[in-house]
Structure 1
Amino acid sequence: MRRPPQCQAELSDGPYVAYPFAQDADEPGETAAAMDKTAFVFAGGGSLGAIQVGMLRELASWGVTPDIVIGASAGAINGAYFACNPGVDGAQRLDALWRAIRRTDILPWSWRSVWNMFGGGRGHLVEATGLRSLLARHFGPRNLEAAELPLHVVATDMQSGDEVVLSSGSIVDAVLASAAIPGVFPPVQLAGRTLIDGGVANNTPVSTAIGLGATRVIVLPAGFTCAERRPPRGALEHAFNALSLLVARQLVHDLQHFSSQAQISVVPPLCPLDISPYDYSRCGELIDRAAATTAEWLHGKGLDTPRIPGALAPHSHDETAPSCSADIPAAAPH
């Protein structure tokens, strides 16, 4: 896995690259082995994005470093941070960031916001000012091109429904667009497009990674709430829960569909999981559990044994079925 040189200067604002591309070898004489390219793919999941931090901590401690990073929705936040701060130190700082997050930092909900949406004609529930402020503190004016690792953020064109891969321009704007859950956050205007959450078009951008030339894809899924004893409450919790279910279902489909085109490894998500993607009060618990699960997976040579964890399949739990153990077939049934 080749490490690119660190960018020493910020690039000026430029056009947003909005399409996947394959990158050529650095020199014509490069061998096939040298052209191998590993991608980290971060799927969305609201507060469950904290799970990816525990996964990253262990992967980084094992020296697993990607050549490219792709993120969508909440995964775009983690992907962008790690691409700008790769390695163990970056993973530890991301850990501290997530442990300090509170729901009101991301979702400053109030009855006024509900009135503005339903009585005032506004098309979204909350403004993204809290999230923008959080991102600005950690990324500042940095552009996607200035990340240490090549970074690509997935969003969706609200009018056409097309996937839009942002590869240049402001990191803050790109992540805001990728995380703009319809009805929750406002759309983001970039490069003449109206962009919303990347999950609408491709929340688990395995295909994007392959289109960018990845020969090996390591997926860090957030999973979904499978052991909650009560149904989601309120519009926001419903939206976050529905999106996390969509992510998991789409991920299984993509893993089966693209398994013949690249070596794909999936870090196992947490299961059973009783924490809502709307609940930011238990991020530390999610990080620690994911780190322990990932360490066990790595010791068991999980990276060298491509499989689709059964925890990604649609399911729920009760006292008679405490966890998932059976893997999903790697190839889709005909």
Structure 2
Amino acid sequence: MTTAFVLSGGGSLGSIQVGMLLGLAESGIAPELIVGTSVGAVNGGWLGSRADVEGIGALADLWRSLSREDVFPTRPIVGLLGFLGLRSNLVPNHGLRRLLKDHLQFRRLQDAPIPLHVVATDVLSCHDVLLSSGDAVDAITASAAIPAVFPPVNIDGRELMDGGVVNNTPLSHAVALGADLIWVLPTGYPCALPKAPRGALAMAIHALTLAINQRLALDVARYEKSVDLRVVPPLCPLGVSPIDFSHTARLIERSHDSTLEWLAARQPLVGQAALLAPHRH
């Protein structure tokens, strides 16, 4: 039996996945295959070489140290040029690339100790693209290139952007790669925000996060009868924006505790799409 971890996108809410990963590792659950999209690809890049409790603890420390400027550096002139249609993005991607270069322990995807695959979207065809080899920084940056926020990444002549646009939680890829036990780690979405996001960046990432969650619910309903599918419940209520890094430590703690409680409860693994149903608090 091949165990896969499938990690979805969600901006700064990727910290929630870290708490889930820590709870799974402490319970002796480890991946033999990783498929990641967007921030799930970023976390997957770390997980590909350090999937033990100590390694995930170090990932948690890294997340706790991050600020919004580390990932979404504000450059007014870039934002203005994007607004005027003279650039394809609001934010440069050098912050994300620097984080990956500093912390990835392998140069190429195929060199990851645990097989790692990341999903991006072809800008022109809008087809999802599974990246399993090649430069790891380029591939993960492409998978996390949120449309209009980060610039697309050219890989082998194709302009690639965030995989969450068409296939945020690529269960089909995990199945095709031979997984028969799949743990899905969603970031969830902010179901308890006190008011609508303000600003182009916040609204763009919020909208994509909502779309991601709805697509995930459809995929779970589609696949849970054909494979052994286990969806780690996302945090709820959640009142944190996916561009807000100021609550990272608390989100990791909450998701870690929630994951351990869920594993101990051994709840039936049916109707899991209901965990992701749209709602408000």
TM norm structure 2: 0.97
1:63 counterpart (28, 34, 38): 28
What is the alpha-carbon distance in structure 1 between the residues aligned to residue 33 and residue 156 of structure 2? 23
Higher relative CO (CA 8 A, sep ≥ 6), structure 1 or 2?
2
In structure 1, the partner of 2:147 is 182
Separation of aligned partners in 2, 1:208 and 1:231 = 34
The answer as to 2:240 corresponding to 1:275 is yes
- For structure 1, the residue ranges without an aligned partner over 5 or more in a row are 1-35, 318-334
1:156 matches 2:155: no
User: Does 288-297 or 253-262 show the bigger shift?
Assistant: 253-262
How far has the Cα of 1:120 moved from its partner? Answer: 6.5
Determine if the alignment matches structure 1 residue 313 to structure 2 residue 277. yes
> Which amino acid is 1:314 matched to?
P
Instruction: Report the Cα distance in structure 2 between the residues aligned to 1:213 and 1:306, rounded to whole angstroms.
Output: 22
User: Is the partner of 1:225 in helix, strand or coil?
Assistant: coil
| Structure (1/2) with the larger helix percentage | 2
| 1:114 corresponds to which of 79, 98, 107 | 79
Q: CA deviation at 1:309?
A: 5.8
Superposition deviation, residue 208 in structure 1? 1.1
The answer as to whether partners of 1:271 and 1:311 remain within 8 angstroms in 2 is no
2:177 corresponds to 1:209: no
Does residue 92 of the first structure (1) align with residue 82 of the second (2)?
Answer: no
Q: Which amino acid aligns with 1:269?
A: P
Quick one: distance in 2 between partners of 1:134 and 1:263? 34
For the 8 Å contact 1:37–1:68, the answer to whether it is kept is yes
State the percentage of identical aligned residues: 48
- Structure 1 61/279 Cα, relative in aligned 2: closer, same or farther at 3 Å? same
Cα distance, 1:169–1:197 mapped onto 2, change above 3 Å: same
Distance (Å, rounded) in 2 between the aligned partners of 1:120 and 1:156: 21
Question: In the alignment, is residue 42 of structure 1 matched against residue 4 of structure 2?
Answer: no
Output the amino acid matched with 1:187.
Answer: P
For residues 114-140 of structure 1, give each alpha carbon's deviation from its aligned partner in whole angstroms, at most 9, with x where no partner exists: 222123611110110111111100016
Q: Report the AA paired with residue 106 of structure 1.
A: V
Separation in 2, partners of 1:286, 1:309: 22
Provide the rounded CA distance (Å) in 2 between the counterparts of 1:261 and 1:190. Answer: 33
Question: Are residues 233 and 212 of structure 1, via their aligned partners in 2, closer, same or farther at CA, if it must alter by over 3 Å?
Answer: same
Q: Distance in 1 between matches of 2:99 and 2:64?
A: 13
Quote the offset at 1:252 in angstroms. 0.8
- What's the Cα RMSD here? 1.3
1:129 corresponding residue in structure 2: 94
The aligned counterpart of 1:53 is 18
| Match 2:195 to one of 211, 230, 235 | 230
Q: Is 1:200 the counterpart of 2:165 in the alignment?
A: yes
CA shift in 2, pair 1:128/1:313, >3 Å: same
Alpha carbons 1:80, 1:151 under 8 Å: kept: yes
1:285 matched residue in structure 2:
250
Q: 1:229 to 1:311 in 2, by over 3 A?
A: farther
Letter in 2 for 1:274: G
Equivalences, count:
281
Corresponding residue of 1:76: 41
Q: Distance in 1 between matches of 2:172 and 2:116?
A: 15
Q: 8 Å contact 1:86–1:148 — kept in the other structure?
A: no
Looking at structure 1, the residues matched to 154 and 80 of structure 2 have their Cα atoms a distance apart, in angstroms, of 24
**1:306–1:149 distance in 2 versus 1, CA, 3 Å:** farther
